Amino acid sequence: MLRYILKRLVFAIPTLFAVSIIAFIIIQLPPGDYLTTLMADWASQGGAVEAGTVAAMRERYGLDQPIYFQYYKWIWGILTAGDFGISFELGKPVTELIWNRLGFSLLLSLLTLCFVWAIAIPIGILSAVRQYSISDYTATFLAFFFLAVPDFLMALSAMYVMSAWFGQSVGGLFSPDYVDAGWSFGKLVDFARHVWLPVVVIGLGSLAALVRIMRANLLDELSKPYVTTARAKGMSELELLIRYPVRLALNPLISTLGWILPAVISGEIIVSVVMSLPTTGPLLLRALLAQDMYLAGSLILLISVLTIIGTLISDILLALTDPRIRFQ
């Protein structure tokens, strides 16, 4: 078991390395660099820039060095000093800007995952056990429907419905009164009143996918011979269902965490943009549009790293619940 976890950890290292390279490529991808954008800006405002200033800035940001050196400098800064570079646009260190937002992103994703799992498993079980019943068909159709509606459309529609029918404005995670207030019970209640909608909106797509998977897994397991064995022991149908097929159908579901998590984080980003939530989404979009590449790259890197850690946790969970993997 310990060996398995160690192996997984060792495997994660090259993945993290590769992700950092991809993030860095994204930083480097736009033609020119931030300074050319800046110069263009200044030029359009009528101001000329002295060649000396540009050269000095280039040196300061290391933009005149070979590309691998820039990468080395960047990653070294992150690893040794937690220095993600400077947001050109906002003129602040990236670290100052992101942690708070990253925290909310993480929180929102975790809440969504809990929501998705808590709802998907019972619906999936019901759908499989009552195969071809009205409830199964309804669940199946709804699952297909929500798979077909993109997150941001869901967010927009939800906001439209809330404002047109209930006269509520939706957006943010807090009421204006609480945004800058410290944590209190009142703030928590306010948070809960705001957060449920994004959670549902982000979760519905993955929920639909999970219901389908749970249903298919359980149908597979229900036809396995060990179910007959347990029945032949005299076990009641309900105990049998929970103790055997459901227990086994959950294993592959745990491994879906590896892709549900990226999907939820993706959904979180785009929904946050629409609903203007204080998470990484709007910040990332803004950074990308402004070619504020250190900020954008750092966000992509951190989001990916979180995902990889999540996948790692799901691998370990799977090993804990499935002895077949543990004993490999």
Partner 1 sequence: MNMSPNTSQETILKVEDLKTYFPMRTGIFKAVDGVSFELKRGKTLCVVGESGSGKSVTARSILQIVDRPGRIEGGSILLTRADGSVTDLAKLDPRGKDIRSVRGKEIAMIFQEPMSSLSPVHRIGTQIGEALRIHFGIRGNEQRERVLELLRQVEIPRPETAIDRYTFEFSGGMRQRVMIAMALACNPQVLIADEPTTALDVTTQAEILDLIKKLQQSHGMAVLFITHDMGVVAEIADEVLVMYRGKVMERGPVEQIFHAPQDDYTRRLIGSVVKLEKKAEVRLTRAPIAAEAAPLLDVKNLSLTFPSGLKAVDDVSLVVRPGETLGIVGESGSGKTTMGRCLLRIYDPQAGAIDFRRPDGHTVDIRTADKAELKDIRREVRMIFQDPVGSLSPRKNVGQIIAEPLKLAGVKGRELEDRVSELMVQVGLEPAWRERYPHAFSGGQRQRIGIARAIAVKPRLIVADEATSALDVSLRSQMLDLMMKLQDELGLSYVFISHDMSVIRYMCDRVAVMYRGRIVETGDTDQVVNHPQHDYTRALLSAIPHPDPRERRIHKRFRYDPARTVSANG
Partner 2 sequence: MTDITSLPPETGPSFNLSGKDIAVAGQWRLFWLKFKKHRIALASLVVIVFMYLVAAFADFIAPVDPNATNARFTYAPPQGLSLLLDGSFRPHVYQLKMTLNTESMRREFVADPTKPVSVGFFVKAPQPYYLLGLIPMQTKLFGLTNPQVGDSLYIFGADRLGRDIFSRVVHGAQISLSIGLVGVFMSLILGVTIGGISGFFGGWVDLAIQRFIELLRSIPTIPLWMGLAAAIPVGWPPLRTYFVITLIVSLIGWTSLAREVRGKFLSLRSEDFVIAARLDGMSEIGIIFNHLVPSFMSHIIATLTLAIPSMILAETALSFLGIGLQPPIISWGVLLQEAQNIRAVAQAPWLLFTPAAAIVISVLSLNFLGDGLRDAADPYESVS
Q: With binding defined as CB under 8 A, does residue 36 bind partner 2?
A: no
Q: Is 62 in the site for partner 1 (CB under 8 A)?
A: no
* Using rule CB under 8 A, residue 283 touches partner 2: no
The DSSP-derived string for 58-112 is HHHTTTTS-HHHHHHHHHHHHHHH----EETTTTEEHHHHHHHHHHHHHHHHHHH
C-alpha dihedral, 177 to 179 to 182 to 186, nearest 10°: 50
Which one of partner 1, partner 2, none interacts with residue 323, CB within 5 to 8 A by kind?
Answer: partner 1
How many residues interact with partner 2 (rule CB under 8 A)? 50
User: 54, 75, 230, 316: which one contacts partner 1 (CB under 8 A)?
Assistant: 230
* Distances in whole angstroms, Cα of residue 231 to Cα of each of 122, 235, 238, 244: 22, 5, 11, 10
Q: Which parts of 46-168 are beta strand (E)?
A: 86-87, 92-93
Which of partner 1, partner 2, none lies near 237, with the C-beta cut-off 5 to 8 A by kind?
partner 1
Residue 110 backbone dihedrals phi, psi, to 5 degrees = -65, -45
Minimum CB–partner distance for residue 163 and partner 2 (Å): 6
**Residue in 228, 242, 289, 309 binding partner 1, rule: CB under 8 A:** 228
Beta carbon of residue 231, minimum distance to partner 1 (angstroms, whole number) = 5
3-state DSSP assignment of residue 142 = helix
Angle at the Cα of 322 (from 144 to 237), degrees rounded to 5? 65
Of 204-223, binders to partner 1 (CB under 8 A) are: 223
Whether residue 249 contacts residue 214, with contact meaning beta carbons closer than 8 Å, is answered with yes
Residue 86 pairs in a beta bridge with 93
Task: Considering the complex, state which of residue 38 and residue 235 has its C-beta at the smaller distance from partner 1.
Answer: 235
Minimum distance, C-beta of residue 254 to partner 1, in the bound complex (Å) = 12
CA 295 – CA 274 distance, rounded (Å): 20
Q: Which is nearer to partner 1, 222 or 284 (CB)?
A: 222
What is the token pair recorded at 13?
């290292």
Q: Is 322 in the site for partner 1 (CB under 8 A)?
A: yes
**Residue with token string 């019970």:** 185
| Residue 173 contact, options partner 2, partner 1, none, Cβ 5-8 Å cut-off depending on partner type | none
- Pick the stretch among 189-197, 241-249, 282-290, 316-324 that binds partner 2 (CB under 8 A): 282-290
Q: How are the residues of the chain apportioned to helix, strand and coil, as percentages rounded to the nearest 5?
A: 80, 0, 20
C-beta closer to partner 1: residue 14 or 324: 324
Figure out which of the listed residues 202, 296, 318, 319 binds partner 2, where binding follows CB under 8 A: 296
Question: Smallest gap, in angstroms, from Cβ of residue 247 to partner 1?
Answer: 7
Name the minimum Å distance from CB 228 to partner 1: 6
Scanning 74-82, 100-108, 157-165, 241-249 for contacts with partner 1 by CB under 8 A, the matching segment is 241-249
Tokens linked to 251: 């294993």
Per-residue CA distances from 262 to 70, 215, 269, 305 (Å): 28, 22, 11, 11
> Considering the rule CB under 8 A, would residue 226 count as an interface residue with partner 1?
yes
Residues that bind partner 1 (CB under 8 A): 223-226, 228-237, 244, 247-248, 251, 321-324, 327
